[in-house]
Structure 1
Amino acid sequence: MGSKNKIRKAKDGTLNVPDHPIIPFIEGDGIGPDIWRAARMV
């Protein structure tokens, strides 16, 4: 994972989000597979 794609928190508390962030997910994290299939498309 390159550091260019990481979401970082600045010292003032704001978030620095790149144009193409990498957002990990764990399928089956307690919200149910039906919800995850629909949310993944968003």
Structure 2
Amino acid sequence: MKSFSKGYLKNTLSLLKMSIPAILRYFEIISRKFSQCNGPECFCV
């Protein structure tokens, strides 16, 4: 059981490491969209 949880934790950490840049890029795109336009039309993607 311990070895299973250790492997699971390692997999989760590696998945997080891989997904963090994608999440950051996603937020960067959203913030860029918001900074480009001003007004309620920003919310229509």
Task: Name which structure has the greater RCO, CA cutoff 8 Å, separation 6+.
Answer: 1
Q: Do both proteins adopt the same fold according to a TM-score greater than 0.5, normalized to the shorter chain?
A: no
Choose between structure 1 and 2: higher strand proportion. 1
Structure number with bigger Rg: 2
Q: Structure 2-normalised TM-score?
A: 0.24
Q: Structure 1-normalised TM-score?
A: 0.25
Choose between structure 1 and 2: higher helix proportion. 2
